[in-house]
């Protein structure tokens, strides 16, 4: 069964079961132990996200629909070429636009407000512009297919999360 040939029903029981199964296998392959039930933390028309508590930080599985199918490979490219600007990538699904990542920290909109939030975005946006210019040098980089684990997190990543 091809899950992403057309629009995906992210609430379908067979889709959820397949996502949970792959998340467990990918964690096991990365020597990560899931310590609690997997939760589906949000469902949008373009993607869904599952969260699993582990012995360390939580991990997230993002499953993208057709309009966002480029996101996992792009995230892999950014993780490899610009470590610390996106959540650490653990694995990419070989057949579906799914990625397993380490928790990226608290969302800025949950941690900051008002002038503090504006200051954080003023720090992030120039980094994002530099990243966009640099990534255009890799428009069809086949290495984006391969996940890599990287250490060292920036204080504020481009993913709009504050890292602890």
50-96 pLDDT, tens digit per residue, is 999 999 899 999 999 999 999 999 999 888 888 888 899 999 999 99
124-153 pLDDT, tens digit per residue, is 899 888 888 887 776 555 444 343 333 333
* pTM listed for this prediction: 0.76
Query: pLDDT category, 6, cuts 50, 70, 90?
Result: low
Rounded CA-CA distance 104/45 in Å is 22
Annotated domain spans of the chain = 13-162
Residues contacting residue 43 through CB under 8 Å, at least 6 positions apart:
10, 11
- Which pLDDT belongs to residue 156? 35
Tell me the CATH class for 13-162: alpha beta
């Amino acid at each position: 069964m091809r899950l992403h040939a057309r629009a995906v029903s992210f609430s379908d029981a067979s889709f959820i079961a397949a996502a949970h199964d792959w998340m467990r296998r990918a964690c096991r392959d990365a020597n990560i132990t899931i310590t609690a039930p997997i939760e589906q933390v949000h469902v949008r028309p373009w993607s869904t996200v599952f969260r699993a508590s582990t012995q360390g930080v939580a991990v997230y599985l993002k499953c993208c629909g057709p309009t966002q199918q480029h996101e996992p490979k792009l995230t892999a490219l950014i993780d490899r070429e610009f470590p610390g600007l996106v959540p650490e990538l653990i694995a990419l699904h070989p057949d579906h636009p799914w990625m397993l990542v380490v928790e990226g920290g608290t969302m800025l909109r949950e941690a900051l407000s008002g002038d503090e939030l504006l200051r954080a975005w003023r720090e992030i946006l120039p980094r994002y512009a530099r990243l966009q210019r640099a990534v255009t040098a890799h428009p069809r980089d086949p290495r984006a297919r391969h996940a890599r684990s990287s250490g060292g997190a920036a204080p504020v990543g481009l993913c709009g999360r504050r890292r602890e």
